[in-house]
Amino acid sequence: MRPIYRGRNVPEAVRKPPVHTVAGMGTTATHCAYCALQCAMTLTADAGGRVTVGPRDFPTNRGGLCQKGWTAADLLGSPERLTTPLLRDDRSRPFREASWDEALDVVADAISATQAAHGRDAVAVLGGGGLTNEKAYQLGKFARVALRTKNIDYNGRYCMSSAAAASNRAFGIDRGLPFPLPDLAETGAVLIAGGNVAETMPPFMQHLTAVLDRGGALIVADPRRTATADRATLHLPVLPGTDLALALGLLHLAVADGHADRAYIHDRTTGFDDAWRTAAQWWPERVERVTGVSVAAQRATVAQLAAGARGRGAVILTARGAEQQSKGTDTVSALINLALALGLPGRPHSGFGCITGQGNGQGGREHGQKADQLPGYRKIDDPAARAHVAGVWGVDPGELPGAGPSAYELLESLGTDGGPRALLVHGTNLAVSSPRGHRVAERLAALDTLVVCDVVMSETAALADVVLPVTQFAEEDGTMTNLEGRVIRRRRAVAPPPGVRTELEVLTELAARLDCVAAFTADPETVFDELRRASAGGVADYAGISWDRVDAEGGVFWPCPSADHPGSPRLFADGFPTADGRARFVAVEHRPPAEDVDAEHPVYLTTGRVLQQYQSGAQTRRVPALAAAAPEPQVEIHPDLAGRNGLADGDQVRVVSRRGDAVGRVRLTTTIRPDTVFMPFHWGGDQAVNRVTNPALDPISRMPEFKVCAVRLERVGTS
Amino acid sequence: MTRFVVVGHGMAGSRFVQELRSRDPGRRFEVTVLGAEPEAAYNRVLLSSVLAGSLTPAEIETVPSAWYAAEDVELRTGVEVAAIDRRHRRVLTTAGEHVPYDHLVLATGSRPWVPPIDGLVGDDGELDRDVVVFRTLGDCRAMLNRLSRVRYAIVLGGGLLGLEAARGLAGRGIDVEVVHPADRLMERQLDLDAGRVLARTLRGLGVRVRVNARAVRFTDGWGGGGRGLRLDDGTRLPADLVVVACGVRPSTGLAAAAGLETGRAIVVDDTMTSVTDPAIHAIGECAQYEDQVYGLVAPAWEQAAVLADVLAGGPARYRGSAIVTRLKAADVDLAAMGETDVDEFADDLEVLRFADPARGTYQKVVIRDDRVTGAIMLGGPETVGAVTQLFDRASPAPADRRALIFPGVVDAGAALDPADVPDEHTVCRCNGVTAGRVRAACEAGADTVAEVAATTRATTGCGGCRSDVAALLASRSTVEVPA
């Protein structure tokens, strides 16, 4: 048995705070703390350390910021900031403050003891799509070589996984947008399936507004007439859980109405015949009955996309609405099939794209946090990939663990016989963001040890044995890969509060305490340079991207295999990175949602976001301006449905499914289908809609079905 | 191993086989399909698209032959069944072969009915060379093959299929007239007014319509060697081609000869099993459930799924199908469902109607007990999807009934003058800026959008509210403010 290291001396070099600030006149050019649009901003720190935000021009946000961006610095000096490690021996007792040495010793001891008693896989790791590339990479490496556990996954499983799986099987690569965002503004027609960028990433709308201003088409498929759908030229009010049928119907019409690009299909793709055979069974009148989208609207959608394809271009985009279903991968495949049939991918101002959600949802899924992946988007079961990465890490490939379970399955296994007994959490508030929340809370409670790194006492941190306070965006250096696949720099504008460390430091110190033979460093640029070597030759090849280049060029698009490679803003012009260079149609068939409405649960529930909150809300709920603007979840209900349930505007309503319930405030609106309610997921406790949602998983991506389940409504009281 | 024999390889039979195999991963069942047509399974619903020229015959194939091999299903096309030998549980083919079964699924569909009009059928019992039915891909091909020689076509029958055929032929430049004996087109689905509006719409698309018209003879000698159709009122119509679309009759001959109970079709229970023989099942157009015989594909597929589930040991039961009839004809948007020809002033009904015949619009929604129980939606496509789903799901109708016909009318309000926008109204969503705050900024001296932005952050997100902020500014000042 290995010795347990307590109070181990960590080399001074590891502790040295990294300084890579690009600051002049007290200002720092960086990007927003939140979503994947990664709006460029300038942070200005005054003598007292107070930081203010200003917008900065960049191709993505064009100088725009939403309220979240404007207030992004407000959490830096928040009284709710965690600034010292917290420990407790017993979860029934309150936390006590601890020194870093003590806290790290406790964690290292718990890891060693757990693994000694139950094996290496008894310690699990959950990461997040908000971590910088450096942290995401280091976390994956830590799991594989310091913990040597197969049990690592990340919250991107709840976010991008369906689109990623579908893109990989069609194009051989998964990059959210295959072109720079400004290309979108140049196109002639855009279809967004289940996305609400006007609410989730408002500056994105500028690119769509440009399309509209030129007389182009914007078509939005969504059960709600969202802020985005309201700006559209055509809104398709699809029944929750039927996006796949709609996509099949659009492909049917593309062919039947003579819009298919036969030459493109012949020259650049394979598999059309099989894909058509299933789409052929989805004639528009059948689709209308299943989806509620009229034949005329379906036909107009296809005609407008086809007109775009013949002119300035056409783009099909998906987001979580279409993806967060138990058939999300197939739904995205069906939309890719439509894009291929119209000949879009690889053409100017055209193509298929996925609107990434989390700040580093793109980079975070490329470098080894995913259960089945190694850095560079390599597959962990590929012997060549294992040999390459093991070489970079200086370990024997045979010692690398294999693929582990996906996030929700991992959560389900916590504390069970043979399942993990200790969990390290980085950059995710899974107690709020996971489906069937009651069950998740049970599983977390069954752990021997829960260690959470966070900036505030999130709902997940509050359940932990050890909480480690870590840096925020403006306090650290690193890189993020935005929704375009552009690697950009996050820059340090202020020093973190005393007592706060970066996760790179935490992992480095833990690795040392665990006597790990592989090298770990807390210097992010050094980590990035190692990431470049580890990703070299992979699909997501960062080998030629250096911090200096990112700084000098305003970002670099991957793949970028060498220092003299210009990067890859636009993909697919000359072929697809598949074995035969062709894109693949994938034949998919519609199926109903895992749970349909019935007499007891007669209403569909769909979930999503509001402008002022981000993800689980752990950060944004603690920003006073945002909390004031969106203090609680509002349940959107059509007046007809509200009337039948005795609900009035402002009432408290309990949304109840077979799995649990959540409480929110009624907001009457005619912008939602009368058979569906909407509740945002940014709140915890009894306001957490994910206590209600269904963990039915997509068979390929393992994405839970956040976007549709069956509920009933109960009135709690009046305001 | 349980042996399944499926007779019929149309929409119902081929669907059943797929549904069965999807529930039978262990391949417990030995499956043989006997199809009378020589073709691979194809989608009959799309024949009108083939006739119209938007799809090719190859494109409407439903199941690739490779599927049968991969799924270990024996498919024998061009094989007709002559008799069912219930005692020995086997069927006899016209070629004299016996095929044994444990379960027999009859999916024999129906046959076109050819009315007793002189000249349609020759002395040999075959259709005249210029007369076609519109039922199979073979029929469709036959029609396509001769189109170049056709100038005038008559479609006998103004039901769903007849109108789809007529629209397809007109789209190919052929002079088409529909001859229909009832007082209106699609009389089973439409009321009189809807029939008239539909006829008018079709006329605009080059399809002439003659209702209350009875053909009596198809003859030669039409001047110039042409042929034509004579009606009972003496009218003579030129016709190089007569398309018979006068309805279908379920193919129940095999079942009846075997002693199975048949009404209009083979009588089945809620497991799609013959009420006479538990080893024999029927689905699709040859099945009769609770006095209903369905002639559309949706019920056939529902029945196929139920039967597959039942035979795989599942709990599914058939409860009948809600029928939505949707005409598949280019530039005609028509859906009909449920009860439509009703007394509009009956006490237990609400009937909404909007008609604009000149523009081809006729919409009628029947509401009973707060549920949509019938509708005709002709030429007003926006709300068809919503009305169909309300009917299908028996969901409560919207409180404001106008929403069923006029999309958006409930939400529509007069646009507010900027000066009248209430202070609490959000102008800039991205930054949560209200009209009141913009006005306050204005009071504090902001004269331009940029100055309002500097103090309120309005317009600094997506930029979509720039014109609203400019309008608010303008309403506070006498000076024109550029957006």
Tokens of A124: 């699990």
A280/A368 Cα distance (integer angstroms): 40
pLDDT at B38: 85
Q: Which three-class secondary structure string do you get for A208-276?
A: HHHHHHCCCEEEEECCECCHHHHHCCEEECCCCCCHHHHHHHHHHHHHHCCCCCHHHHHHHEECHHHHH
A657/A711 Cα distance (integer angstroms): 5
Tokens of A257: 């109405």
Which amino acid belongs to residue B439?
R
CA dihedral A661, A664, A668, A669 (to 10 degrees): -80
Q: Are residues B236 and B265 in the same domain?
A: no
Q: Is residue A3 pLDDT above 60, yes or no?
A: no
Q: Which residues of A touch B384 (CB under 8 A)?
A: 288, 294-296
pLDDT at B293: 96
A373/A137 Cα distance (integer angstroms): 11
Q: Is residue B120 part of a domain?
A: no
B118/B156 Cα distance (integer angstroms): 13
Interface check for A113 against chain B (CB to CB < 8 A): the answer is no
Substitution target from B429, B462, B466, B468 for chain A, most A beta carbons within 10 A: B462
Q: Are residues B253 and B240 in the same domain?
A: no
Nearest to B254 by CA among B114, B111, B85, B9: B85
Q: Which residues are CB-neighbours of B30 under 8 A, at least 6 positions away? A: B1, B2, B3, B4, B74
Q: Which residues of A touch B59 (CB under 8 A)?
A: 255, 276, 280
Q: Are residues B146 and B223 in the same domain?
A: yes
Q: How many CB atoms lie within 10 A of CB A381?
A: 12
Nearest to A289 by CA among B320, B298, B389: B389
Q: Are residues B258 and B365 in the same domain?
A: no
Q: Is residue B122 part of a domain?
A: no
Which amino acid belongs to residue B432?
G
pLDDT at B223: 65
One DSSP character per residue, A512-579 reads HHTT-SS---S-HHHHHHHHHHHHTTSSS--TT--HHHHHHHT-EESP--STT----SS-SSS--SST
Q: Is residue A18 pLDDT above 50, yes or no?
A: no
- Is the ipTM higher than 0.90? The answer is yes
Among residues B346, B379, B404, the one where a domain terminates is: B404
Q: Is residue B320 part of a domain?
A: no
Q: How far is B401 from chain A (nearest CA, A)?
A: 11
Q: Give the pLDDT confidence of B404-450 residue by residue, as tens digits.
A: 999 877 665 556 677 788 899 889 988 989 999 999 999 998 989 99
Q: Is residue B116 part of a domain?
A: no
Mean predicted confidence (pLDDT) in A372-383? 96
pLDDT at A20: 39
Q: Are residues B8 and B104 in the same domain?
A: yes
| Cβ–Cβ < 8 Å for A593, A199 | no
User: Which stretch of A48-62, A173-187, A501-515 has the lowest confidence by average pLDDT?
Assistant: A48-62
Residues in chain A: 719
CA atoms lying within 13 Å on the CB side of residue A713: 29
CB contact under 8 A, B384 and A288: yes
pLDDT at B224: 66
- CATH of residue B398's domain is 3.30.390.30
The nearest alpha carbon in chain B to A676 belongs to B395
A-proximal residues of B, 267-296, CB under 8 Å: none
Report the residue from A65, A237, A671 with minimal CB separation from B461: A65
Q: Are residues B399 and B436 in the same domain?
A: no
A312 three-class SS? coil
pLDDT at B105: 98
Q: Is residue A6 pLDDT above 70, yes or no?
A: no
Structural domain that includes position B227: 131-246
Q: Give the pLDDT confidence of A613-667 residue by residue, as tens digits.
A: 999 999 999 999 999 999 999 999 999 999 999 999 999 999 999 999 999 999 9
Q: Which residues of A touch B457 (CB under 8 A)?
A: 65, 67, 70
Q: Give the pLDDT confidence of B161-218 residue by residue, as tens digits.
A: 999 999 999 999 999 999 999 999 999 999 999 999 999 999 999 999 999 999 999 9
Q: Give the pLDDT confidence of B388-410 residue by residue, as tens digits.
A: 999 999 999 999 999 999 987 76
Q: Are residues B28 and B47 in the same domain?
A: yes
Q: Is residue B323 part of a domain?
A: no
Report the residue from B298, B393, B461 with minimal CB separation from A64: B461
- Looking at chain A, the whole-number percentage of residues with pLDDT higher than 70 is 96
> Domains, chain A, ranges and CATH?
23-75 (2.20.25.90), 83-158+360-557 (3.40.50.740), 163-355 (3.40.228.10), 603-717 (2.40.40.20)
Tokens of A132: 């910088």
Nearest to A353 by CA among A254, A200, A482, A516: A482
CB contact under 8 A, B399 and A256: no
Longest alpha-carbon distance in chain B = 99
Report the residue from A206, A296, A670 with minimal CB separation from B382: A296
Interface check for B304 against chain A (CB to CB < 8 A): the answer is no
Interface check for A66 against chain B (CB to CB < 8 A): the answer is yes
- Looking at chain B, the whole-number percentage of residues with pLDDT higher than 70 is 96
| Cβ–Cβ < 8 Å for A556, A567 | yes
B-proximal residues of A, 251-310, CB under 8 Å: 255-258, 273-274, 276-277, 280-281, 283, 285-286, 288-289, 291-297
Q: Are residues B343 and B393 in the same domain?
A: yes
B376 three-class SS? strand
A246/B270 Cα distance (integer angstroms): 31
One DSSP character per residue, A379-404 reads ETT-HHHHHHHHHHHTS-GGGS----
Interface check for B463 against chain A (CB to CB < 8 A): the answer is yes
Mean predicted confidence (pLDDT) in A534-552? 97
- CATH of residue B429's domain is 1.10.10.1100
Residues in chain B: 483
Q: How many CB atoms lie within 10 A of CB A169?
A: 18
pLDDT at A572: 97
Q: Is residue B91 part of a domain?
A: yes
B-proximal residues of A, 637-696, CB under 8 Å: 639-640, 643-644, 670-671, 674-675
Q: Are residues B222 and B145 in the same domain?
A: yes
Among residues B342, B373, B404, the one where a domain terminates is: B404
B-proximal residues of A, 216-235, CB under 8 Å: 227, 231
CB contact under 8 A, B430 and A277: no
User: Average pLDDT, whole number, for chain B?
Assistant: 92
Task: Tell me: cis bond preceding A498? Omega within 30 of 0 counts.
Answer: no
A214/A217 Cα distance (integer angstroms): 9
Q: Is residue A1 pLDDT above 70, yes or no?
A: no
For B115, counting Cβ atoms within 10 Å of its Cβ (0-12 exposed, 13-18 middle, 19+ buried), the class is: middle
Q: Is residue B29 pLDDT above 60, yes or no?
A: yes
pLDDT at A2: 37
Q: How far is A172 from chain B (nearest CA, A)?
A: 26
Helix (H) or strand (E) holding B236: strand B236-238
Among residues B359, B382, B404, the one where a domain terminates is: B404
Q: Is residue A718 pLDDT above 60, yes or no?
A: no
A339/B143 Cα distance (integer angstroms): 35
Q: How many CB atoms lie within 10 A of CB A399?
A: 13
- CATH of residue B173's domain is 3.50.50.60
Q: Is residue B179 part of a domain?
A: yes
Q: Are residues B100 and B22 in the same domain?
A: yes
Q: Is residue B60 part of a domain?
A: yes
Alpha-carbon Rg of chain B, whole angstroms? 30
Q: Are residues B396 and B422 in the same domain?
A: no
Interface check for B189 against chain A (CB to CB < 8 A): the answer is no
Q: Which residues of A touch B385 (CB under 8 A)?
A: 237, 288-289, 291-295, 297
CB contact under 8 A, B462 and A644: no
pLDDT at B409: 72
Report the residue from B54, B335, B385 with minimal CB separation from A293: B385
Q: Are residues B146 and B196 in the same domain?
A: yes
Total of domains in chain B = 4
Mean predicted confidence (pLDDT) in A342-353? 98
